[in-house]
Amino acid sequence: MPVNLQAPDGSRLFPVSGVRLGVTAAQVRKPERKDLLVMELAPGTRVAGVFTRNRYCAAPVRVAREHLAGGSIRALVVNTGVANAGTGEQGLADAREVCAALSQRLGCGAGQVLPFSTGVIMEPLPVARILAGLPACCSALAEGQWLDAALAIMTTDTLPKAASRRVEIDGRTVTVTGISKGAGMIRPDMATMLGFVATDAAVSQELLDRLVAEVADASFNCISVDGDTSTNDSFVIMATGRAGGAPIDDAASPAAAALREALTVVAAQLAQAIVRDGEGATKFIAIEVAGGRCRDECRAAAYAIAHSPLVKTAFFASDPNLGRILAAIGNAGIADLDAGGVRLWLGEVLVAEQGGRAASYREEDGARVMAEAEIAVRVDLGRGQARATVWTCDLSYDYVKINADYRS
């Protein structure tokens, strides 16, 4: 069961003017489930994205990068069930064929369509089924279908993931709404799995390119379920400009700061939902590492904790075997780390300092915190002012079961 996560209320997902969505059950992999999404963007919409750094990146990732570099984007097409990764030249041809087919229906160029896929790796994309599903998607296009869109991109997710908010920027009401999917193969190396966020704010392309990286770094790049970086990771921001006004172009302006915050809040909510719905998860764990010389070493320590199977299984068992956390910190690659200067807390309980167990620590206190559904781990490296936070989950029996049965 997801950790303190509920399905989003569709009535609270604000439509974004200039973005229309349509879904259908194309039977890409499983019958009778929504598995194909089309997002149509109004002319003039600016789009920016960041993608996986996995060298086996999927065919749609490669095609999406090419099309983004070409300029104006008018549509996105997303299928679940088959990742179209590890599919060679045929996979590229298949992704391009889908783009061409959708472009003909929408009256735009094939290079103006971004393709995305998620699901089983190294299986051929069922192009005929996707092409057959495109007419239904296009017939269903409407601005208010964000919840259906979130459902249509799920794989092993147990709940759809969507978030929305409205803010005032320069006297205008600006809407930000987004969806994401992901539950396993979650370890960001730019952004994790699939995330799509739209806004009606007017933004220059240069600033949007900067914002997508900054927002990903503060949200999707702060989560981990199992330490595996997907072949298909993609995060895209679309700005239609329909809220009006001159495009925001100064990254240091109050307007840019307000938009950055709104985008980050939505993206962080989507990212944390992925962890809360992690495959087999029973605990949501926030790991804050402070006192580093730079953010990178704080992140290294946080991820060392988040990726340790020994730490994650101890959290699942509610077992305060907390020496495992110290061992993970020591293995984070901080060569000159002074173990004697590190302090570790579990919630508000001081666990370790001066190289060992804190004199005040009692195991019953650690066990009490470990039994909670949401746990805060705090580390002070004692060597600087930098800090970083990573969100993760425990590793349970069900994680193994889900992935053992994934293709059945």
130 exposed, middle or buried (CB, 10 Å; 0-12, 13-18, 19+)?
buried
Tell me the CA distances in angstroms from 268 to 162, 249, 252, 407, one per residue in order: 11, 23, 22, 30
10 Å CB burial of residue 347 (0-12, 13-18, 19+) is middle
Q: Is 309 exposed, middle or buried (0-12, 13-18, 19+ CB in 10 A)?
A: exposed
- State how far the alpha carbon of 284 is from the alpha carbons of 224, 247, 312, 338, 390, in Å: 11, 39, 11, 29, 11
Instruction: Tell me how far apart the alpha carbons of residues 47 and 19 are, in angstroms, rounded to a whole number.
Output: 12
Residue 258 near residue 169, CB atoms below 8 Å: yes
Could you say which of 155, 177, 192, 282 is catalytic?
192
Active-site residue flag, 24? no
Residues taking part in catalysis: 192
